Structure 1
């Protein structure tokens, strides 16, 4: 039975190029997740909960500010660049690349400089941790290479390099950080931040090398007879920037709130639980997003609405089934998983369960964002994300004083789930596309799986 199952997978990989790309991207994501998990485990063991908390506050600031530095241009690149690749408009694609990277670099440098200026007041008056002032400058410096590297992700996606985009997004930073942590044996959050900065610089170099190797082979090959007028980038990107900031903020609002109202140890326990919970969507969504967004961009105007809906719903249903199984494992073995980081992290089990439950809705609606972007509904994303972030802040304000970090986890899960549900309803009402699979579709998957297993046993 096992040999037949592997033979069926191998045959699917040979027949279907898209399946091969998904499998390859998923493998890159698995390697990145394993490396990241190993890095965070050893980081927690070397630093302890308190220093890990300081590290996570700095990491949250760098992640959020690098998102602002990218100005919401990633989705615009996919929408504008996908047709250019399809029509072999390489000169126009290079122009789009230069414009997007220059805008992002200028914004990132300004943001990093501003964070350095307010570093000491932020550490002393906001988080009440003067030692955070030693951590934050290193994360401020990492904003520039991080934003530069991640701006290459949509370009790698549209040139059909999903494995490269996933590696830049989630593999190289933990893969470089892991051996460095064994060499340095960090004892403070500042040393952990220095490791992160080195890994970000390496990631940026790899991202540029992949893009350069592709575009250098296509010099002088553009279809110049089709003149392409450059479209305004920032005007279209502003709603997406607000939406992207809201999305990242949703993951870090609770961390900052716990950091302001509780001890660094509580921040460390909460952050580790959140890292484990985010592995659920982190494993599954990036490989799919790397393919689904460009795929929908190409399908629009060529395929029917029903064909797009069928693809989206099938992907969502399969991801949800996998995610439900992972959630069951976390319910059963959550305490043991957290103790891998150190015994003092075990108190985050309630946070872990709550955050993982919220991830189920995110996974079940995995294709909403690229679907809305391709159809020019950036403002819908912006409004949903701003509303969700506002709700998260309010819920943290009311729940944290009474139930502590668990209240922050509840606030985050409710806000994330509510945002995805709202976007799904809008997609159904305005596009006529239902992204949430029906019960009948799940039943079909079960019947297909049972029939396949029955045939293999026979």
Structure 2
């Protein structure tokens, strides 16, 4: 059955070389879909068992955890993929430089800095920024458990370099969401304080980050070349900056809504945003397989190989995303109603976010191209511009239009960064990554 489906997709796209890409990305896609489904189950459980106010606090904490993971990870996660895809650093399960062990040291030091920073800023964030005193207990545990979510963020992605896509999908998407769901149910059954949900969230991801950290330590080291901390950070820091600003551009709306509107408004918006962003499952699954291949082709100066792989990936993403977005828009009200009647207020948000994600899908893997081909600094600049636009638009549009204004700001900034990347890729590689029949 699986071979038959693969054959049909190949026939539809008219490219016989797609089988391996579909197979590997399909492995990640399947697990990400399951994980995403489970994430909606635990979101549904929180909204129905604890209410939109608690989910609003969980949403703010979750976004802060994600941002801290991006910022204090220092781009090491992406740098590991790039370095691991280069045979002079890593091949056949053997490390030829100390890039893995030095990256681990960087994350250990960075996690300590993260703990101190969050603990010192806890009161300011609670009282002056978000004006929500209940958030204090959430932030205490975010600071104490920073090593866990940083380990997961930094090291799990290296599984894609090793070609272990099933394990990557399990560790990154499937198992953690099972753990979060179980913890939500335990919190309700034993009547634990709501902030225990965040403890469970971090533990569910962090344990698999630690397992992967240990597995990296066990990789044999046979030094062929030397690499210093400065060289790793020189490569990773632009990626960290671009990832941070890309994150800010993606989640500014939630953070600013948290500061400007009620917890209920944040909860409604975040549910609609999560539903509208489901297309990212498809994009991320294909990009997971694509990133190491782009890096390897670039190392071998095979620019034509990059172009062909990007075209394949864009076709797969676009053909899968378009019907998905149409279904989300058509059935938006019954989908949102599953989380409670109050969440129907987010229907326009869902439409706007879905359209933005469709454009993102059809733009191709432009961010991956720049990060994997030594143009990470240019990608960093594009993300900074996009993030600034998003912040400014959110400030004015939220005041005027509420959650719909936040969605419009997200749409515009998403269009901007993709257009800038598309033009740059055309200039440097002489092809458009955008979908075409």
**TM-score over 0.5 for the pair:** yes
DSSP 3-state at the match of 2:74: coil
| Higher alpha-carbon deviation: 121-130 or 161-170 | 161-170
Query: Is the 2:318–2:435 contact (alpha carbons within 8 Å) kept by the matching residues of 1?
Result: no
Deviation of 1:330 (Å): 1.3
Q: Does 1:133 align with 2:136?
A: yes
- Which is richer in helix? 1
Q: Which residue of 2 aligns with 1:390?
A: 388
**What 5-or-longer segments of structure 1 have no aligned partner?**
443-458
**What 5-or-longer segments of structure 2 have no aligned partner?**
none
TM-aligned CA distance change 1:430 to 1:3, over 3 Å: closer
TM-aligned CA distance change 1:252 to 1:19, over 3 Å: closer
1:228-265 CA-to-partner distances (Å, cap 9, x unmatched) read 23151112222111100011112221111111111111
Deviation of 1:418 (Å): 1.0
Cα RMSD of the aligned pairs, angstroms, is 2.6
Q: With the length of structure 1 as denominator, give the TM-score of the two structures.
A: 0.87
Q: Does 1:68 align with 2:71?
A: yes
Q: Does 1:274 align with 2:273?
A: yes
Q: Does 1:426 align with 2:430?
A: no
Q: Does 1:207 align with 2:206?
A: no
Q: Separation in 2 of the partners of 1:315 and 1:11?
A: 12
Q: Does 1:169 align with 2:167?
A: no
Q: Separation in 1 of the partners of 2:10 and 2:433?
A: 29
TM-aligned CA distance change 1:253 to 1:188, over 3 Å: farther
Q: Does 1:58 align with 2:61?
A: yes
1:156-208 CA-to-partner distances (Å, cap 9, x unmatched) read 11111122223333222212111222222167541221221321332223433
Query: Is the 1:66–1:108 contact (alpha carbons within 8 Å) kept by the matching residues of 2?
Result: no
1:36-76 CA-to-partner distances (Å, cap 9, x unmatched) read 11111111112211111111111111110111111012222
Deviation of 1:349 (Å): 0.9
Query: Is the 2:290–2:313 contact (alpha carbons within 8 Å) kept by the matching residues of 1?
Result: no
The structure that has the greater radius of gyration is 1
TM-aligned CA distance change 1:275 to 1:16, over 3 Å: closer
DSSP 3-state at the match of 1:230: coil
Q: Separation in 1 of the partners of 2:239 and 2:391?
A: 20
Q: Which residue of 1 aligns with 2:330?
A: 332
| Higher alpha-carbon deviation: 229-238 or 200-209 | 200-209
Q: Separation in 2 of the partners of 1:324 and 1:191?
A: 38
1:5-34 CA-to-partner distances (Å, cap 9, x unmatched) read 448469999x95444322222222122111
Query: Is the 1:47–1:188 contact (alpha carbons within 8 Å) kept by the matching residues of 2?
Result: no
Structure 1 moving runs of 4+ over 3 Å: 2-13, 15-19, 84-89, 186-189, 208-213, 301-304
